[in-house]
Structure 1
Amino acid sequence: MIRTFNTHKIRTSTELDGFWKIKNPQTKKEYELLVPGGAEAIMELQNFQGVLQYYREFELEQEQNMLFTFHGVSFWATVFLDEVEIARHYNAFTAFTAFVPSIKAGNHVLRVEVDNRFSEASSLHIPNDYFSYNAINRPVQMDVVGNEWIEYVHATPLEKNNGWEVQVTGQIHSLQLQQGMMAEIEIDGIKEMTQIAVDGSFVTTIELKKATSWSPQTPNLYFVTTHLLKDGVIVDDLIERTGFRSVKVSDGKILLNDKPVFLKGFCRHEDAPIWGNALPFEMMVHDIDILKHLNCNSVRTSHYPNDQRFLDLCDEQGILVWEENHARGLSEQDMQNPSFKIQCKECNEEMVLQHYNHPSIYVWGILNECASDTPYGRECYAEQFAQIRALDQTRPLTFASCKFFTDICLDLVDIVSMNLYAGWYHDTPPQIYVKQISEWVKRVGGQNKPLIISEFGAGAIYGFHDYLGRIKWSEERQADLLEEQITAYLNDPDVQGLYIWQLTDCKVCESWAEKRPKCENNKGVVDRYRRPKMAYECVKKLFESKDKIR
């Protein structure tokens, strides 16, 4: 499954999921596994770091132009068709394509060389508080295309006269663009024709007088169907989906469709035993069910862009999404890596262009807990915010900071977000610490901006109990601290949203083992198998009673 809905009716698209061969070039041993999937699913290759070769055969009945899309390969990918290189890509969490013209009829071999080693060439993929798996972690598809095809279509909802209109923009890829090519766009039964410009772009606006808004309570969605016409004949199509809603920031509040919204949610990693970061769709559905059962209305995609299928589910289920680029805990020295700026720029562009149409995404985030307390760090934050604002003017921007009382970038954001672990990493009571942070934020660029507590929580090893002593790492201690933290933050009038760290436990790199029992970040309210800890019921009750507390 590529998306939760069909994206083509005209273009022939084939999913290349299923069994692939995998080969370790060092040992020469070969295995078989399901893709999406990776080394974690093979007993001999768990915790693997290195290069693996994933390959499979496919057959064409006639000569075709083919467009291959890899929705996620962790982390470096080099793609070969019949041993000829056709693509390279860095970053596990965004899609990339490879166009190959005139592939002959017959059998062919698609091979992907996957490298998850750390190196100086990699600025974002470093030893971290989550594991860097070797995997084709998201779906692969193969499309038959002609000499022209639709690269992307973006639908931007605009409020008009108590209703909605949609500005539709898009881009055509053409081997030889011809005059007179047209795009036909249909939304909710209304069609508009627009001409393709000489650079392959197109734009039109469609007024929808009867459209209903998207919100967590009413997640109404609309298909945006685009046909590409050449000499009056449809040669390609793309079906996207959107929802009509506005996101604004005003007087310290986050406004969804001009109404204040308070965010209750979790930070979530794509991680599970056996599958690693190649979560099956069924696990995504289950995670959404957990979020809704916990009375959440939001999720933070820490610390990277998420799978399109998970975002589709958030659109459908009314879960508001904070999506962020792939960068976590980088020092100024890390950010001075010669590859850092270009790799962030590529990740940002791919994230926004590929996920633009999801109405559930209400904010873009960048550079979690990086060097926002230094002049060079500020330069990086400013550059990336400017880049994203040029790509999307409809969503606010933020980043999660842990630079308490030293951050110099809070004036750059629309929403101030702080990671506070009061009671876990220090003993300051959360109700006092959040007030200290809030007052400081107002003095350094955060005045009249919403404040989100973007991380807070406590660790607990599943099944470890200490009913009387309630020591750290016991389920009792985690439940106690979460109750104290949530109650404090809900009672603070400046706080407009909470993201607990984290939904599920996750595997971490071994270099973090001294701080992470079992080589896991154990702050989930469920473990890696999604078994609830004691804190689960505490969070559920407090989130349910939010309005009463507040």
Structure 2
Amino acid sequence: MLKPRSTATRELVSLDGLWRFALDGGPGPLDTTLEAAVPASYNDLFTDSAIRDHVGWVWYQRQVRVPRGWAGERVVLRVDAATHQGRVYVGDILVAEHVGGYTPFEADVTEHVRAGQEFRLTIGVNNELTDTTIPPGTITVTADGRRRQTYLHDFYNYAGLARSVWLCSRPAVHVEDITVVTAMDGTVEYAVRTSAPAQVRVRVLDATGTQVATADGTNGALRIEDVRLWRPGAAYLYDLVAEVLDGERVVDSYPEPFGVRTVEVRGTRFLINGEPFYFTGFGRHEDTPVRGKGHDNAYLVHDFQLMDWIGANSFRTSHYPYAEEVMEFADRHGIVVIDETAAVGLNLAVASGLTGAPPRPTFSPDTFGEATREAHAQAIRELVARDKNHPSVVMWCIANEPASNEEGAREYFEPLVELTRKLDPTRPVSYAAVLFATHDNDRIADLFDVLCINRYYGWYVATGDLATAETYLEHDLRGWADRFGKPIMMSEYGADTMPGLHSVWDTPWTEEYQQAYLEMNHRVFDRIEAFVGEHVWNFADFQTSHGIHRVDGNKKGVFTRDRRPKAAAHALRARWRSLGSRKPQG
């Protein structure tokens, strides 16, 4: 699905701002005095705990005027995300419905609106998670009749319209989709889908706007002479301009930015443009005070500045697709991205360990079965369709910490891996392995290209004993390397840390312990030849659900939630800025 853009043939109106808001309602006029910001999660905006803890539908509403110059154009409503289910109404008419909280959806509303006139726009958003949603969860009813949502992921279930809403115009015959695949010699293969059969011309413009290649037809290949590659830390972008023609007249024009680069796994090396690449960076969250998961451009700029300051060259979109503005910023600034679906929590052993409940099989008709896998497949389809042309995206991560050691895991994941490769054969595919999954019992690692390992030796295991933790970690990682012969990276490692807490001993929660913990991990990484990267968990502290093992959220951030550096940030900066993008020699 193409991102809305203002072009010579298209216009768009941002519908961001303050909307009427209510817990109860529908497409009719809302009886409320509350207003909610868009984009933002609604949970932390209000002081009423009934709103913060609400389970079910909430309602956003506003009046929208269609620009008077849009007569004869197609009029489209686009919702960048509605967490986790959305329904869109024009007046009383349902025009769109979508399940999945982090990918966009849209509706052509041309027949329901008029140029120059207003209409009532209502968006219902449902935050419920079940066994057949991605991510999954469970809804129970308390003794006093309150509905309660539980879930299996360790971040707060923020909900609402966390990303922008748009009103867009398009010509009757228009470009619907573009796919771009590049090679280092400047060859660009392209495919353009239009809303109806049409004459199509494709032009490639360089960063100065100079035309450097052209071709005709909806599918084909062209060649950029003296091509400039997109490289980590040195981004260069071209525009592929797809034009729908009526004779010589341009009916529609859409520019799709792209970079020329290749990604390959060869043996135990991860290659970008044929050169070994070593990941340094973080798992992150879209999480800020008050806004929750609401996209904020000020935080976007500042967070990327902090990553540049610390020497990070990459991040993982843990644990869901991030806003498209984040991906575009990474494209422009040469930051490498591992792009992840919202499939976090497919592991009932974790819930059993936390609650003491009897263990249940993760993959079964009564737990996560065919319906869950189809929802998961749809999440993969929508992620790849949205992000396939971003040069910053070098790998798809289709799940975080699934029960890959349990029976049924292979039957569940093998079709999903095949689907991902069919949708995009140009990028490696991975998943992030949970601590319970070892090189001895994991059932799916051979299906994937890169082994992303989440490990917390020295925190959840061998707590406060870094000498023992170092032994455990090296034995664990060498086992994966010896058995599978694939590139390995640490996709999560970290220790909760309270800023300002200090000790001369290895005391968990202190700033000194976080630094020593990371240094222990780094010693092990540097001794393993197959290692291709390290992503610290987490970039910044973030909000979680209630739990006695959390104090106002997860404190594993190298930065606080308001982006102040802990002591470990300075130690990481020294390592990463000297390390660059190459693997140290072990």
TM-score with structure 1 length normalisation? 0.91
2:39 counterpart of 1:36: yes
Q: Deviations over 1:140-197 (max 9, x none)?
A: 11111233221221211123xxx211011121123xx4xx5334333330453433xx
Q: 1:149 & 1:36 partners in 2: Cα distance?
A: 28
Give the drift of 1:261: 1.0
Match for 2:119 among 95, 102, 108?
108
Residues 121 and 421 (structure 1), Cα distance of their counterparts in 2 relative to 1, 3 Å cut: closer
Q: 1:164 is matched by which residue type in structure 2?
A: G
2:406 counterpart of 1:374: yes
Q: Deviations over 1:280-338 (max 9, x none)?
A: 01101111111111111110110111111111111111111011111113122486245
Aligned-partner SS, 1:167 = strand
State the identity %.
25
Match for 1:258 among 247, 268, 274?
274
RMSD of aligned Cα (Å): 2.3
Q: 1:549 & 1:416 partners in 2: Cα distance?
A: 19
2:166 counterpart of 1:141: yes
Match for 1:56 among 35, 50, 62?
62
Partner of 1:90: 99
Q: Deviations over 1:97-122 (max 9, x none)?
A: 11123322421011100111334553
Q: 2:216 is matched by which residue type in structure 1?
A: T
Q: Deviations over 1:390-420 (max 9, x none)?
A: 1111111111112123111111111111111
Q: 2:460 is matched by which residue type in structure 1?
A: Y
Q: Deviations over 1:458-495 (max 9, x none)?
A: 111233x1323452222222122112222322333221
Partner of 2:511: 475
Superposed counterparts of 1:128-527, under 5 Å: 128-159=153-184, 163-174=185-196, 177=197, 181-188=199-206, 189-195=211-217, 202-331=218-347, 332-333=362-363, 336-402=368-434, 403-404=437-438, 405-427=440-462, 429-444=468-483, 446-447=484-485, 449-463=486-500, 465-510=501-546, 513-518=547-552, 520-527=553-560
Question: How many residue pairs end up in the alignment?
Answer: 529
Q: 2:154 & 2:527 partners in 1: Cα distance?
A: 31
8 Å CA contact retained: 1:490, 1:546? no
8 Å CA contact retained: 1:54, 1:113? yes
2:124 counterpart of 1:118: no
Residues 139 and 125 (structure 1), Cα distance of their counterparts in 2 relative to 1, 3 Å cut: farther
Partner of 1:199: none
Unaligned runs of 5+ in 1: 196-201
Partner of 2:353: none
Give the drift of 1:47: 4.6
Aligned-partner SS, 2:163 = coil
Runs of 4+ in 1 over 4 A off after TM superposition: 547-550
Q: 1:285 is matched by which residue type in structure 2?
A: V
> Greater strand share, 1 or 2?
1
Give the drift of 1:66: 1.2
Unaligned runs of 5+ in 2: 138-150, 348-361
Q: 141-150 or 427-436: which moved more?
A: 427-436
TM-score with structure 2 length normalisation? 0.85
Aligned-partner SS, 1:322 = strand
Give the drift of 1:50: 3.2
Aligned-partner SS, 2:186 = strand
